[in-house]
Amino acid sequence: MAPTLREIDVRGTPVRLHTDGDGPPLLFLHGAGAGGRWLGFQEALARRFTLRCPVHPGHGGAPAADWIDEVADLAFLYLDLLDTLGLDRVHLVGASLGGWIAAEMAVMASSRLDSLVLIDPVGIKVEGWIYPFLFGMELPQVVTTIFHRPEAALALAPADQSLDTLVELYRQNAALARVAWNPYLYNPRLRRRLGRITAPTLLVWGEHDRLAPLACAEAWRAEIPGARLVTFARSGHVPHLEEPQAVAGAVSDFCRRVGRAA
């Protein structure tokens, strides 16, 4: 089944939204570079949830929103999206940048979440670790930083090298840079706030993550009350792309088991 694609007006900002499946509502927030994609991980989740995947403004060919200046702005955008859709509570899953956005949403409005799943999120400062600066890397180095299995990166390859595609990729990179250039990939205020999260939380981590290694997972686990950590041995920074079925299974089971409204 192909997901339906709609454009939703969220308090004046157009948001592209993919929807598919049936079951309890689950909102998935993609990472940088995966906007607008519908991949195996999403297909698997859509078998057990009503899955909604917004495309971050500026990503995946979507128009940028010039008022978005920091990741918290994206968090407010998606809380507004829940209101627009009339969703009181959801399971919230975010990967990498999407995990950062999800964590910002959780510290703002934990009561809206049936559960929270963060897949290799960035977004907090971890002592002794400086995130490698992806903006300065050429593509092959980006791939080896993000993927443990580089062949999984093919799913994110651009359709072509046309002018339009190159401009869209530049826009996507700019949308990420706008919110994450400096401080690079974190909000200095976020870590202190994580203790506010009351939703049951699962941390999913690739054991070979070279962008945010396992030491980062420990920092997140220490800050979020009751958070559990599950790791994947054959993955780097994007286990949901590298081991999609196994990760989708773990996420589904967790949401089903602990979800407050499930």
- CB-nearer residue toward another protein: 165 or 245: 165
165 binds another protein (CB under 8 A): no
- The SS3 assignment for 28 reads strand
d(CA 210, CA 237): 7
Among 167, 215, 233, 261, binds another protein (CB under 8 A): 167
**Shortest Å, Cβ 41 to another protein:** 26
Q: Which pairs with CB-CB distance under 8 Å and at least 24 residues apart come from 214-223?
A: 215/126, 215/128, 215/129, 216/122, 216/124, 216/126, 216/129, 217/120, 219/124, 219/126, 219/127, 219/191, 220/118, 220/121, 220/124, 220/194, 223/124, 223/191, 223/194, 223/195
How far apart are CB 182 and another protein at their closest, in Å?
Answer: 5
With CB under 8 A as the contact rule, the residue among 87, 137, 143, 214 that binds another protein is: 137
User: Near another protein by CB under 8 A, which window of 129-137, 185-193, 210-218, 233-241?
Assistant: 129-137
Q: Which of 67, 111, 135, 222 binds another protein (CB under 8 A)?
A: 135
Q: Which residues of the chain form contacts with another protein (CB under 8 A)? A: 133, 135-138, 163, 166-167, 170-171, 173-174, 176-178, 181-182
